[in-house]
Amino acid sequence: MIVTLTMNPSVDRSATLAAPLTLGGVNRIAESHDSPGGKGVNVARVLAAGGIEATAVFPAPRHDPFVTMCAESGVPATVVPAEGPVRVNLTLADPDGTTTKINAPGPVATAEMLDRVRADVSGLAGRATWVVLSGSLPRGVPAGFYADLVTELRGTGARIAVDTSDAPLAALAARFPSAAPDLVKPNGEELGQLAGVDGVELERRAADGDLAPVVETARTLRATGVGAVLVTLGGAGAVLVDGGDDDDDQAWFATTPPVRVRSTVGAGDSALAGYLLADSRGAPPEERLAWAVCHGSVAASLAGTGLPLGLDPDSFRATVRRLD
């Protein structure tokens, strides 16, 4: 079983515009759709569709429409009682695939809710192969919450993956090696946040074909105790730095054939889910990376908040090469 934690879940409302977004003008919606969202929920949905037992943990009022949406999506959930409705995030998608996200802050967390989250995740972790901590933290949650959870979960036997950004990511990095997870999944900018370097420059150089800075930065994280670093680079592909049989750093780079990008929402979550799907099948690192980039690429080709549910591995067309 794989457990995902989404501390700030959302109803993801996607609206495809009939024409490019005009600031200050009248914009018409061609179609819209609501789906249960939040990074951990997205990961759990892809995992469940891929035949992996997954449980999404998130705070919400028991009778919030979000809980019903998750159930209708086939995602087993552990709902932590919370005050205040689940937020609604709006994604506006231009016809060319450019997306504009408008995210609500979500309700304020209480100390009681945080204690219950820790207890529920710890209880489930004892039966899990992976625990995935992902997404932003709602108001009222200390920035070090994920770092605390990583250290608390070490004795459960589950491996831990983290996918977050900004203050929670900085707080996690500040606690390495004691809070170093088994896997981190940053994009280029977040990789910079983790390592204290210019993430925008990392992404620019990767887009120009220079992957050496990304690999070397990922290796600095491995040196602080992180197990594996999966860096998603949008249309430029993805890099995985992991240890081999002798635990020496090994790096791979993967790309897929170009796709028409319709929305990037959920692409990073899908890449993480693809990696975990392959890992659950005992795949070697290069195959895990292939599954990751294929899931991320397909997600980017789908409109709104579409996810690659039940993707056929035989359809994968990733190109993977060793970088060292």
Residues with Cβ < 8 Å from 268, sequence gap 6 or more?
39, 163, 185, 187, 232, 296
**248, 269, 279, 312: which one is catalytic?**
269
Mind giving me the DSSP string for 220-238? HHHHTT-SEEEEE-GGG-E
Residues with Cβ < 8 Å from 324, sequence gap 6 or more?
215, 249, 250, 251
Handedness of CA 130, 233, 173, 42 (dihedral sign): negative
Sequence letter at residue 237: G
User: CB of 42 within 8 A of CB of 296?
Assistant: no
Mind giving me the DSSP string for 118-143? HHHHHHHHTT-SEEEEES---TTS-T
Sequence letter at residue 245: D
User: CB of 62 within 8 A of CB of 113?
Assistant: no
Residues with Cβ < 8 Å from 108, sequence gap 6 or more?
83, 84, 138, 139, 140
Tens-place pLDDT, residues 4-14? 999 999 998 98
Beta strands in the chain, from DSSP E residues, in sequence order: 2-6, 10-17, 29-37, 54-60, 77-81, 87-93, 99-102, 130-134, 159-163, 183-184, 228-232, 238-243, 249-255, 319-322
Looking at CATH, the fold of the domain delimited by 2-20+30-322 is given as UDP-N-acetylmuramoyl-L-alanine:D-glutamate ligase (3.40.1190)
Tens-place pLDDT, residues 168-194? 999 999 999 999 999 999 999 999 999
Catalytic: 269? yes
Give residue 129's pLDDT. 98
Please state the separation of Cα 117 from the chain's center in Å.
19
What CA–CA distance (Å, rounded) separates 287 from 284?
5
Give residue 156's pLDDT. 94
pTM of the model: 0.92
Tens-place pLDDT, residues 81-138? 998 899 999 988 888 878 888 988 889 999 999 999 999 999 999 999 999 999 999 9
The one-digit pLDDT tens for each residue of the chain (324 residues) are 999 999 999 998 988 899 999 889 899 998 888 889 899 999 999 999 999 999 999 999 989 999 999 999 888 899 999 988 999 999 888 888 788 889 888 899 999 999 999 999 999 999 999 999 999 999 999 999 999 999 999 999 999 999 999 999 999 999 999 999 999 999 999 999 999 999 999 999 999 999 999 999 999 999 999 999 999 998 899 999 998 555 578 999 999 998 888 778 789 999 999 999 999 999 999 999 999 999 999 998 887 678 888 888 778 789 999 997
Where helices occur in 15-165 by DSSP H, the ranges are 39-49, 65-72, 111-125, 145-153
